[in-house]
Amino acid sequence: ALGQRESSNNYQSENSAGFIGRYQFGEPALDDAGYYNSRNGAPGNSWERENWRGKNGADSKETFLNTPEIQDRAILDWFNRINGYLDFYKLKKADAIADFEVGVDIIGLANNLLLDQLIFEPVNLQLDAGLATPSTAIRLDNDYLAIVQGVVDANVFATNANFVAV
């Protein structure tokens, strides 16, 4: 379902923002999954050859796009990484939010939550031995509902009573 939604199951897809493959990976997601070092290159999805880590044979954008098995393994690796974040931050998996594109995505409020009940807390998310990433935790009282990686709390705002934009 995800591959169909993202690229019509086209493993060689690349959109205008540089997201690639069947699952439309960006550099940060492939960094999280261990395939790419997004901290060593130009900002955005530049896909510099020297930043590929060679995991499961993915040593270039071309290899990645031309090898469906690598992409299918990468999405599983990325899901496992996200699961690790959810466990580490003790987030309820059903309420978790991940992988946002700033200026595009919105968060829908469910279960009769109201925007004024939520607390947007700046946090530094350290994913591994790398640099901490300024992010936003979304809380309801003392319960963490989500961490929006790479989005500072000043960039989180209400679009109306039912949605939060990032």
In this structure, are residues 84 and 98 in contact, taking their beta carbons and an 8 Å threshold? no
| 150: Cα separation from own chain's centroid | 9
pTM equals 0.57
pLDDT of residue 95: 42
Each of the 166 residues of the chain gets a pLDDT tens digit; together they read 678 888 999 999 999 999 999 999 999 999 999 999 987 656 679 999 999 999 999 999 999 999 999 999 999 899 888 878 777 777 654 344 445 555 555 566 666 677 778 888 887 776 555 666 777 777 877 777 777 777 776 666 655 555 555 5
H or E stretch covering 29 = helix 27-32
Token pair belonging to 9: 């199951």
